C-alpha cells in the first residue's frame, strides 16, 4: 500500500502541488500505537513545497487521499504527521491474501547472492559452553533468516584444531593422566566421559600446573632469587617493581599482572607446550598421533552436542589445513611488500596508516598465529564456492579489532571480495556469578545447561498437566522442545551487540517474552483450529473489524518487512520481538472475542482465518529462530 500511495502522489503531484515531486519527499513510518491510524505520512517535506504550515499541508494531502485512494477510510493530521486509516475491506482482503499464501513474507528461494555464515568455530581443547550457545544459535538463526529473504546460504564453521592451546591439553594429558590397572591412560572409552569433556579436563589441569609453577617463580623473584633467569627478564622484573613505587592501587595491580605474565612465560610447562607446537608443525609422528587421537575424541563429543541442539553445517574447515595456505599468502605478501620482516624473523603488517597498529602474522619460529589461519581460510572458502558474494563471521565482540585487521589484510592482498565480509559481533553472556573462564573451569557446560533446561521444562509441564492424550515418548520430545526452545529464544531475543545476563529459570517461563510463551500460543491456536475443523475458504469482506482484529492483520502484514530488517541487521532479535508482539496482540484478541461459539458463520470463519494466519507466521518465525512449534502443550 505504501508503494501504491507513493506512486499515486507522484503521478498527481503537478496538479496537487503545482510541481513534480521526487520519491524521497514521500516518507512513511509506522503509526504510533496511541493514535488512530494504520500508516503515517510525514508532512514536513511538503511544507516548503506548498509554502504553508504543516497542518495546512497535511489537510490538503488528507483530502486528496480520502477522495482518490479507495482503500483509505479517513485521515487525521497531528503535528505535521498524517495518520492514514484504511477501510476494513482492505484489511480483510489482506487477510485473504495471507490465508492463500503459505509462503507469506518469504522471498523466492535463491533469488539473491550466495552468502556464507560462519558460526560455532570451537577450539578442540574444551567442550562447548554457554558462550558458544549464543554464538551457535545466533549464527544458525541468521543463516535461516538470510535464506528466508532469498539468499542462497552456506553454513560453515572453522574448527580451531591446532595451536598452543591445543598443545596445552595434549601435554597435560601426557603428564597428568593416571594409568589404570591395564596401564592405560584415561580415554572416553575407559572412563565413560564424553571426549570433549575429557580433553577439557586436561586443559584446566594444564592451567592449574602453570599457575602453581608461576607462583613459585614469583616467590623466588620477590625474595631476590633470579637463578636460571635471563638478564633481560631480571632487568624487566626489577624495572616493573621499581615502577610500582608511588603508583595508585589500580596501577600497581596492572604492573603485578605484567610481572605474573613474565613468570608464566618462564615456566617449564609452558616451554614444553611451545616445543610441542613446533614439533607438531614439523609433523613429528608421535605428537601428530596424539593430536589426531585427542581431536577425534573431541569431534565425537561435538557431534553429540550439535545433534542435541538441532544444528548442522554444510562445510567444515580445519585450521590445521588452512594455516598452511595462510603462511603461503604471508610469504607471497612479504615479497610484494604488503608485510615486512623483523630481525628476529617474525613477519608483521603495518596498518598505522589506517588508524590501527602493527600486527604479527608469523612468529619468529615460523609458526602461524590466528590471523595467518583466518587469511588462509577466507581465501580457501572463495575458491571452494566461486559464486560466494560475501561472508558473515559470527564471533564475539572481543575480536572486533581482529576482524578489522583481517579484512584490511585481505584487501591489501588484492581480494576485492573482502569488502563483502562482515563481522557479526555479539556481546558476551554473563552469569549471576560473573564472567566465565574456560581455563579456570568456571564455564557453564553446554550439555549440562541443555539437560538442565529440559529437566526444568519437564517439571513445569508436569505440574500443569494436560498431557494425558500424548504418549510417554511424545512427552519427552515435548520437554526437549520447550526447554531448548526457551534456551534458544532467551539467547536470541536480545540485540546481538548487547552483553547479556543469562537466567535459566526465566528462559522456560510460560509468561512474558519467552520461547515457551510463544510455543504455548502456537499450541493453543492449533487446538482451536482442530476443534473447529478449520478449512480454507473465501472470506466475506462485509465484516466490521474490531480494533484487536485490525491490529493483528496489520502485524501479520509487516512480517515480510520484519524479515528484511532482521536480515539487513543480522539480528534475530528483531524477529523474536516481532513474534512476541504478534502473540501479545493475539492473546488480547483471544480473551476479548468469541471464536468457536460465534453465531455469525462468516465472522467465525474470519476469526479462525485470523488465528490460522497468526499460527502460520508464528511457526515460521519460531523455525527461523531454531525453535520448534509444538501442536499441544
- For 278-303, give the DSSP string: HHHHTT-HHHHHHHHHHHHHHHHHHH
Contact 515, 507 (CB under 8 A): yes
**pLDDT score, position 244:** 84
CB neighbours (10 Å) of residue 626? 25
**pLDDT score, position 594:** 93
**pLDDT score, position 625:** 98
Q: Which domains does the chain have, with CATH numbers?
A: 2-86 (3.30.1360.70), 454-624 (1.10.730.10)
Q: How far does CA 465 lie from the centroid of its chain?
A: 34
Helices and strands (H, E) in the chain, number of each type: 23, 14
C-alpha cell at 586: 493475539
**pLDDT score, position 433:** 61
- What phi and psi values does residue 502 have, to the nearest 5 degrees? -95, 130
Contact 468, 499 (CB under 8 A): no
CB neighbours (10 Å) of residue 70? 8
**pLDDT score, position 227:** 87
Strand partners, 129: 445
Q: Which residues of 310-326 are buried (b: 16+ CB within 10 A; e: fewer)?
A: ebebeeebbbbbbbebb
**pLDDT score, position 438:** 44
**pLDDT score, position 442:** 55
**pLDDT score, position 436:** 43
Q: Which residues of 512-526 are buried (b: 16+ CB within 10 A; e: fewer)?
A: ebbbbbbbbbbbbbb
Q: Could you report the average pLDDT of every consecutive run of 10 residues in the chain (633 residues)?
A: 94 93 93 92 92 93 96 94 96 95 96 97 91 95 98 96 93 96 95 96 96 95 89 90 86 90 95 94 94 97 95 93 88 94 95 93 86 91 94 96 96 93 93 53 81 91 79 92 95 95 84 93 96 90 90 96 97 98 96 93 95 98 97 87
**pLDDT score, position 609:** 96
Amino acid at each position: 500500500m505504501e508503494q501504491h500511495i507513493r506512486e499515486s502522489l507522484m503521478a498527481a503531484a503537478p496538479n496537487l502541488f503545482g510541481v513534480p515531486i521526487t520519491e524521497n519527499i514521500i516518507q512513511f513510518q509506522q503509526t504510533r500505537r496511541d493514535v488512530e491510524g494504520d500508516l503515517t505520512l510525514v508532512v514536513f517535506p511538503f511544507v516548503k513545497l506548498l509554502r504553508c504550515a504543516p497542518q495546512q499541508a497535511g489537510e490538503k494531502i488528507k483530502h486528496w487521499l480520502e477522495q482518490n485512494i479507495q482503500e483509505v477510510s479517513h485521515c487525521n493530521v497531528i503535528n505535521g504527521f498524517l495518520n492514514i486509516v484504511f477501510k476494513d475491506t482492505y484489511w480483510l482482503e489482506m487477510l485473504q491474501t495471507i490465508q492463500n499464501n503459505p509462503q507469506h513474507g518469504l522471498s523466492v528461494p535463491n533469488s539473491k547472492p550466495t552468502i556464507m555464515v560462519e558460526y560455532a568455530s570451537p577450539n578442540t581443547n574444551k567442550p562447548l559452553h554457554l558462550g558458544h550457545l549464543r554464538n551457535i544459535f545466533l549464527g544458525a538463526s541468521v543463516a535461516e533468516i538470510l535464506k528466508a529473504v532469498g539468499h542462497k546460504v552456506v553454513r560453515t564453521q572453522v574448527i580451531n584444531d591446532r595451536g598452543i592451546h591445543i598443545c596445552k591439553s595434549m601435554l597435560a594429558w601426557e603428564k597428568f593422566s593416571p594409568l589404570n590397572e591395564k596401564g592405560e591412560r584415561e580415554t572416553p572409552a575407559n572412563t565413560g566421559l564424553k571426549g570433549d569433556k575429557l580433553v577439557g579436563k586436561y586443559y584446566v589441569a594444564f592451567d592449574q600446573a602453570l599457575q602453581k609453577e608461576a607462583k613459585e617463580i614469583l616467590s623466588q623473584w620477590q625474595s631476590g632469587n633470579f637463578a636460571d633467569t635471563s638478564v633481560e627478564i631480571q632487568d624487566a622484573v626489577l624495572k616493573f617493581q621499581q615502577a610500582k613505587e608511588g603508583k595508585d592501587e589500580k596501577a600497581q595491580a596492572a604492573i603485578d599482572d605484567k610481572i605474573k605474565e613474565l613468570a608464566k612465560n618462564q615456566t617449564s610447562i609452558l616451554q614444553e607446550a611451545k616445543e610441542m607446537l613446533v614439533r607438531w608443525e614439523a609433523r613429528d609422528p608421535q605428537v601428530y598421533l596424539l593430536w589426531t587421537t585427542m581431536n577425534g575424541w573431541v569431534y565425537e563429543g561435538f557431534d553429540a552436542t550439535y545433534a542435541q541442539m538441532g544444528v548442522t553445517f554444510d562445510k567444515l574447515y580445519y585450521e590445521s589445513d588452512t594455516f598452511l595456505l595462510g603462511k603461503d599468502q604471508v610469504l607471497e605478501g612479504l615479497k610484494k611488500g604488503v608485510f615486512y620482516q623483523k630481525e628476529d624473523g617474525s613477519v608483521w603488517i603495518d596498518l598505522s596508516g589506517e588508524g590501527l597498529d602493527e600486527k604479527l602474522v608469523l612468529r619468529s619460529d615460523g609458526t602461524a598465529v590466528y590471523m595467518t589461519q583466518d587469511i588462509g581460510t577466507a581465501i580457501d572458502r572463495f575458491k571452494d564456492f566461486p559464486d560466494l558474494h560475501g561472508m558473515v563471521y559470527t564471533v564475539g565482540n572481543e575480536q572486533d579489532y581482529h576482524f578489522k585487521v583481517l579484512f584490511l589484510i585481505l584487501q591489501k592482498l588484492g581480494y576485492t571480495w573482502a569488502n563483502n565480509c562482515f563481522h557479526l559481533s555479539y556481546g558476551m553472556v554473563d552469569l549471576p556469578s560473573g564472567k566465565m573462564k574456560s581455563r579456570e573451569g568456571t564455564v557453564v557446560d553446554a550439555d549440562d545447561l541443555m539437560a538442565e533446561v529440559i529437566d526444568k521444562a519437564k517439571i513445569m509441564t508436569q505440574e500443569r498437566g494436560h498431557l494425558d492424550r500424548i504418549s510417554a515418548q511424545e512427552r519427552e520430545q515435548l520437554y526437549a522442545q520447550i526447554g531448548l526452545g526457551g534456551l534458544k529464544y532467551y539467547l536470541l531475543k536480545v540485540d546481538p551487540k548487547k552483553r547479556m545476563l543469562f537466567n535459566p529459570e526465566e528462559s522456560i517461563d510460560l509468561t512474558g517474552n519467552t520461547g515457551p510463551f510463544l510455543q504455548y500460543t502456537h499450541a493453543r491456536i492449533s487446538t482451536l483450529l482442530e476443534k473447529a475443523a478449520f478449512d480454507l475458504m473465501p472470506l466475506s469482506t462485509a465484516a466490521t473489524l474490531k480494533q484487536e482484529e485490525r491490529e493483528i492483520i496489520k502485524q501479520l502484514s509487516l512480517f515480510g518487512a520484519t524479515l528484511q530488517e532482521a536480515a539487513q541487521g543480522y539480528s534475530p532479535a528483531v524477529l523474536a520481538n516481532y513474534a512476541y508482539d504478534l502473540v501479545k496482540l493475539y492473546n488480547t484478541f483471544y480473551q476479548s472475542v468469541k471464536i468457536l461459539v460465534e453465531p455469525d458463520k462468516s465472522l467465525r470463519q474470519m476469526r479462525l482465518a485470523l488465528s490460522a494466519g497468526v499460527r502460520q507466521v508464528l511457526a515460521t518465525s519460531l523455525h527461523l529462530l531454531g525453535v520448534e512449534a509444538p501442536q499441544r502443550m
